[in-house]
Structure 1
Amino acid sequence: MQINSKLRLFDIAVNLTDDQFYGMYHHQKYHKPDYKDVLKRASDIGCEHLLISSGCLSDLKKTRELCQLSPNYYTTAGIHPCRAYELNKDYYGYMGELKDQLELALKEKKLVAIGECGLDYDRLGRSTKQEQMIAFDPHFDLAEKYKLPMYLHNRNTRDDFYDIMQKNRHRIVGGVVHSFTGPLDELQKILHLDLYVGVNGCSLKTQENINVAKQIPLDKLLLETDAPYCEIKRNHPSSKYVKTQFQAQFNEKWKEGQLVKSRNEPCKIIQVLEVMSELLKVDQEKLSEICFQNTLKCFGLA
């Protein structure tokens, strides 16, 4: 669908290497790769700028290729806390190859942040707390060396994440805590660290989330989808503010040119914008431009 507006949107969280964009769901093939259609739909609603996130070495190799599809696509380089276990195999070899890929992305002028990195205590079954701590630490060295902002992940870590960030904040130029879902005190800690806040459907899942989202300062707000995850679902209280709807089919009934039910896409960033516009009482066009400029500033693209 084509939306006639002056919206300029920048989705800071697109997991475009995910199997779902290549027709695979739960290790079963349902349709051919449709990521190019996904990208076109994003462009059609005014979202021509994407941050294609990576959270491991294999991701970064793929995102570097995907970034060549547009001058407005960028990537990150880091180790997601849920992938921290990968360092156990060969720490120095893994970090050495990650750094090599990072520097290639830098030369291609596609790397804008170090991450996705951080801590996630809700998923300790994937990587232990110790493994996550070990993986998190070298990201500060990389961010300091290359003078890049950090692309951060934090889930249910109490004060551990913020203690580490506070200790190292002077070393980095800034960053964003993406897919923010925390309570008000966590938001206040992020703002105290002078970091940006990334908001998606999961950030707007409950009434408490909504109440916190209303407190995000305009100059610290970034928009995202975290596609193919974190869509705004119909049972979310925020869904009542969504105006733009998209036709979709279940993956087993996939048709070329249509969205897949329950698979989030960057085109749905317009729904996040619509919700935040209502919550913050700011015109959509104005809010989209504010967030667009915030994103350029956060990632040094201004």
Structure 2
Amino acid sequence: MYIDTHCHLNFGAFTEDWKEVADHCVKAGVEKMIVVGADLETSAKAVEIAQKHPALFAGVGVHPHHAPGEFDLKKLKLLAQNKKVVAIGECGLDYHVYKNTKYPNPAITPELKTQQKKIFGLQIQLAKELKLPLIIHNREAGEETLDVLNHFCKDDGQYPPGVFHCISGSKKLLQKILSLGFFIGVDANIVYSSEVQTLASDAPLDRILLETDAPYLGPGRDGARNTPKSVKIVARQISQLKNLPETEVIAQTAANAQKLFKC
């Protein structure tokens, strides 16, 4: 059984056919998919479609790119209490400057970094309160992402379980992530990214989750819409890198997902 632990069937690219895509993926062996929100609107959509399809589960959270937008902790907490919600996220830090953004000032200012950290911290606290795992987004902010986690978990020394989605960064960062008990998410960019290949090779199999980030991060780099079915490509790449039977990779990553998300 394949499990895609991070996709966005709640996004505009799937407005017309999310159910058909989910059905097709189930028939192809992707039996469970976690649909992840990026703001309150897409988090609500994730919950909505998860309630309508037995193979879908939801993550609710506010992506750091949306730090300048609305953040309503009460609304997020209410969404998170739905029985189909299995995680808080995606949330974290993102210091990449996006060219295509709805926000008027895309620059990563000190003020924006502070706002991202505040919103991430509130979601860490929510995950701890509700005993839900975190789906952590880190882009070009690895050490500071760990700093925020350390800050909000230092009082009791308890880190919520979670996953560093779409793993990137150095081997040193990877070891710090693993030392805190987190999983890493590996996506179809493993096909062409030597950095991801190195990190996936170094990480133990029992700490790896399969992801797609669909409709993004397709294996072809051609801008075509990605779907959860590409977890099959991710599993194949990992099996080749680690010289393991593909069946072992599929079974272990599914067990990892079920352990973390209880789905």
> TM-score of the superposition, structure 2-length normalised?
0.89
Q: For 2:68 and 2:255, locate their aligned partners in 1 and report how far apart those are by CA, in whole Å.
A: 36
The answer to whether structure 1 residue 218 and structure 2 residue 192 are counterparts is: no
Q: For 1:209 and 1:141, locate their aligned partners in 2 and report how far apart those are by CA, in whole Å.
A: 29
The answer to whether structure 1 residue 129 and structure 2 residue 107 are counterparts is: no
Q: Among 118, 123, 145, which residue is 1:161 paired with?
A: 145
Task: Rate the CA distance shift 1:121–1:163 in 2: closer, same or farther, 3 A.
Answer: same
Q: How well do the aligned residues superpose, as a CA RMSD in angstroms?
A: 1.9
The alignment of Structure 1 onto Structure 2 pairs a total of residues equal to 250
Task: Rate the CA distance shift 1:225–1:46 in 2: closer, same or farther, 3 A.
Answer: same
Gaps spanning 5+ residues in structure 1: where? 1-7, 23-32, 236-260
Task: Rate the CA distance shift 1:279–1:79 in 2: closer, same or farther, 3 A.
Answer: same
Q: For 1:265 and 1:64, locate their aligned partners in 2 and report how far apart those are by CA, in whole Å.
A: 19
Q: For 2:85 and 2:145, locate their aligned partners in 1 and report how far apart those are by CA, in whole Å.
A: 24
Q: Deviations over 1:18-38 (max 9, x none)?
A: 11113xxxxxxxxxx122221
Gaps spanning 5+ residues in structure 2: where? 99-105
Larger radius of gyration: 1
Contact map agreement 2:190 2:237 (CA 8 A) in 1: no
Q: Percent identity?
A: 31
Contact map agreement 1:17 1:59 (CA 8 A) in 2: yes
**What amino acid is aligned across from residue 26 of structure 2 in structure 1?**
S
The answer to whether structure 1 residue 99 and structure 2 residue 61 are counterparts is: no
**What amino acid is aligned across from residue 117 of structure 2 in structure 1?**
M
For the residue of structure 1 that corresponds to 2:132, the secondary structure is: coil
Q: For 1:208 and 1:158, locate their aligned partners in 2 and report how far apart those are by CA, in whole Å.
A: 14
Contact map agreement 2:64 2:92 (CA 8 A) in 1: yes
Q: For 1:46 and 1:180, locate their aligned partners in 2 and report how far apart those are by CA, in whole Å.
A: 24
The answer to whether structure 1 residue 298 and structure 2 residue 260 are counterparts is: yes
Aligned match of 1:267: 229
The answer to whether structure 1 residue 288 and structure 2 residue 250 are counterparts is: yes
> TM-score of the superposition, structure 1-length normalised?
0.78
The answer to whether structure 1 residue 138 and structure 2 residue 122 are counterparts is: yes
Q: For 2:151 and 2:13, locate their aligned partners in 1 and report how far apart those are by CA, in whole Å.
A: 38
For the residue of structure 2 that corresponds to 1:119, the secondary structure is: strand
Q: Deviations over 1:203-227 (max 9, x none)?
A: 4532233122211101101001000
Q: For 2:107 and 2:134, locate their aligned partners in 1 and report how far apart those are by CA, in whole Å.
A: 22
Q: For 1:12 and 1:53, locate their aligned partners in 2 and report how far apart those are by CA, in whole Å.
A: 9
Structure 1 residue 156, shift from structure 2 partner: 0.9
**What amino acid is aligned across from residue 53 of structure 2 in structure 1?**
S
**What amino acid is aligned across from residue 60 of structure 2 in structure 1?**
A
Q: Deviations over 1:112-170 (max 9, x none)?
A: 11111100011372772122112111112211111111110111114211112233343
